[in-house]
Structure formats: C-alpha cells, structure tokens
Amino acid sequence: MRESDEKVLCSIKNLAIFGAPPFFKDKLHVGQPNIGDRARLIERLNDILDRRWLTNSGHYEGEFEQRIRDYLEVKHCIATCNGTLALQLAERALNLSGEVLVPSFTFIATAHSLSFQEIKPVFCDVLPGTFLIDPEDVRRKITPRTTAIMGVHVFGRPCAVEELQEIANQQGLKLLYDAAHALGCTHKGKKIGSFGNAEVFSFHATKFINSFEGGAVTTNDDELANRLRLLRNFGFAGMDHVIGVGTNAKMSEICAAMGITNLEAMNTIMAHNYANYQRYKFQLQNIPGLELVTYEEEEKRNYQYIVVRVDPDRFGLTRDELFQLLQAENALARRYFYPGCHRMAPYGAIGGENDGRLPHTEKISSEILALPTGSGVSLDKIDLLCCLMKFIHAQAEKIRRLLEVN
C-alpha cells in the first residue's frame, strides 16, 4: 500500500520513476542522526556556555574519552574533530610511509587519509562471504615498501584479526584498523577497539553513535597514545612547549557533549536497530533475489546497516535498477561501497592499473545495497518498503522494458 493514501500499489504506473508521487511522503535514510535525550543534551550545552570553555581539552572531551575507554576496555582514547583526521593522526603517529595495504571495499576516506600524507594505498581484494580484507591477498601484495596493513571492519563485521596480526608480526608491519562501522561490536567476545596497534572510530552524524562530527583513536600503547595527543594539538607538550609538528584535530566541547548524550542512549539505539534487522529478515525471505547480509547472533553487533545482495537473475532487476526505483520513492538506499576505491580518482578507472585485479570487490560492489534503517525508520515503514520491493520484483519484467524505453 502507498504510505500517503493507503491505496494498493496495483500498477507500475504508480511508481514514482514513471511520474507518480513518491511511495513515501518523507525520505527514509540509511542513517538519520540519532539525538539521544534532548533535554540532557541541552543541559550539557548550557553548562558549556556557563563554563565558557568551548574546546582545548575541556571537561566534556575528557569525559567522552573516559566513557569510550571504559566501554571498550582500552587504556587510551584520543578524541578528534572527525574520523578522517583520526585516521591521519594514527598513520602519522605510527610513522607509516611507502605503501599500506587496504581493502578497496571501504569508504573513500580510508584511502584518502593515506594519499593525503603521500602514502600509497595498495588495494587488496576482499573475502566474498564477509566483505573484509583477504589475508591471502595481503600476503601476495607485500613489497619492500610496505609499512602497514589497514583492515576495515565493514558493516560491523570484524576482520580476520588473528591472521592479520600474524602477518604483521612475521613481516614487521604495523597493523591499523578502520573501525568506523564497529562501535559496540565484538570478536570472540572481545570488543573491537583494542586490536592491532590502534583502531579508529568515527562519530560522524550518520553513525549510530554520533557527536555531530567526531572521531577517536583507541590503543593500549602508551607511547603511541602520547604521540597522538601531541599530534592532535599542534605538537604542544605544555603551555608554551612545542616539541614537534602537529595539527589541530581536537574535539570541541559541544561535540563531546553530543557524543556523551548518545553513548547514554546506546542500548536503546542498538535495540531499535536490532528490531529493524529482525523485521527485514522476516520480510525479505518472501522476496526472491534479495539476500540479507546476516550477523552472527553469538557476537554483539550494532546492527547499524541493513544490507542486501541483489541477484538480478532471481530478482528480475539489477542492483542499480532497484536503487534507481527506490530513490524515486524516497527510500534513499545507498550503494555501499560503489564502485570501490580502486575505481575512483585518483586511484584508477576502467583500463587503469587496478582494472580487473580485485574480482570479489568488483562483484560485491555491483550487488550490495544498504536499505533505510535507524531510529528514523519504524517497523511499519519497513513493512511498506518490503511490500514495495515485493511488488517491484513481481513486475520486474515490465518495469525493465519501461526503463529501457525511458
């Protein structure tokens, strides 16, 4: 049924891509920002204004770091103004240079953080069943110029941390993780945040725990943590004592207050995400060709992303055709991570040096679709969205013919 007028969607002429009003009156997002307890946030903002301490290692930044340390059971958390700068600080603090092995199936900031510091990202393929960096491809691509491996815990699923650590130890490489998707997730019962030399989190507005904008590096290495703090604050080791080059990557008090407020609501947010996941799991089993990416129930997951693989033979349309149809209906699905970093400027294009070398990444990036979820998406809206996708599947052949004409 159409959300706006309760009428049955019985004709493909009622699809928005062919000129009808959108199925959803309001846009459904993959990650609409969570706010937490608004009243408590405003109390904190008023306190910040009363203190007249807006940044520079204030009270709330310290509290935010402490809460992350306690939650993840790590020795150090260095909060930053965003996740990309957190990556850059970690890379610089680890003295990375030359080449770093990274998956192509990730957000472009993972690769850009390296290139911005004149470090070459060398793209590795992923394991087809997990979407995570393939340790065997990592082994194949190590050269004398390789200084580190950077894994990415995609969709909150942890990398093969033991195998990657073994490779790093054998080859004398640093090991860093982009954990932007993985706050609240575990590997063999241990929370992500203390693997490798360091792990990097994002608290961007689209993450399920956000600080408006923000990031953090977590580590159990005392010396590394000290270097990170120096780098975050212009290299200052005291009031007037600069001991090295640094930048300004500090988290503001207002952002820290937002982060604390969302951390207090974390269990509620994760419960909502889990309920959405279970509803999609139930509804999607009735739609051939849409395979839900599932999560292991024995491990803790944040369920931030609802991801399907679109099989065009069974569904009747390609991922990109379904994406186009949903966008028109205000269901703003996302093609994570299309077309893969190795296809993006400045790293390559069709016919470039990376062409055809990452077959699993190429296949996955053409199939994956992240569906709307989060606190802005109710169970009723999920039912409606799945009803819409079921109708699209049933009419796929006719829809495709019309798409070709249009």
Residues 12-38: what's their mean pLDDT? 94
Three-state secondary structure call for residue 291 = strand
pLDDT at 349: 53
Cα separation, 370 vs 350, whole angstroms = 25
Cα angle: 74, vertex 77, 79; to 5 degrees = 160
Q: Domain 12-30+266-405 belongs to what architecture?
A: Alpha-Beta Complex (3.90)
Q: Percentage of residues in the chain with pLDDT exceeding 90?
A: 90
Cα separation, 53 vs 9, whole angstroms = 55
Q: Give the residue carrying structure tokens 């394991």.
A: 127
* DSSP secondary structure code for residue 126 in this structure: B
Checking 50-54 for CB contacts under 8 A at 24+ apart, the result is: 51/253, 53/253, 54/252, 54/253, 54/254
Centre a 10 Å sphere on the Cβ of residue 27 and count the other Cβ atoms it contains: 14
pLDDT band at residue 353 using 50, 70 and 90 as cut-offs: low
pLDDT in tens, 214-273: 999 999 999 999 999 999 999 898 888 988 999 999 999 999 999 999 999 999 999 999
pLDDT at 238: 84
Q: Indicate if the pLDDT at residue 8 is higher than 60.
A: no
Does the domain made of 38-264 have the CATH classification 3.50.50.60? no
pLDDT in tens, 198-207: 999 999 999 9
Q: Where are the domains of the chain?
A: 12-30+266-405, 38-264
pLDDT in tens, 95-120: 999 999 999 999 999 999 999 999 99
Is the CB of residue 211 less than 8 Å from the CB of residue 203? yes
Three-state DSSP string of 21-58: CCCCCCCEECCCCCCCCHHHHHHHHHHHHHHCCCCCCC
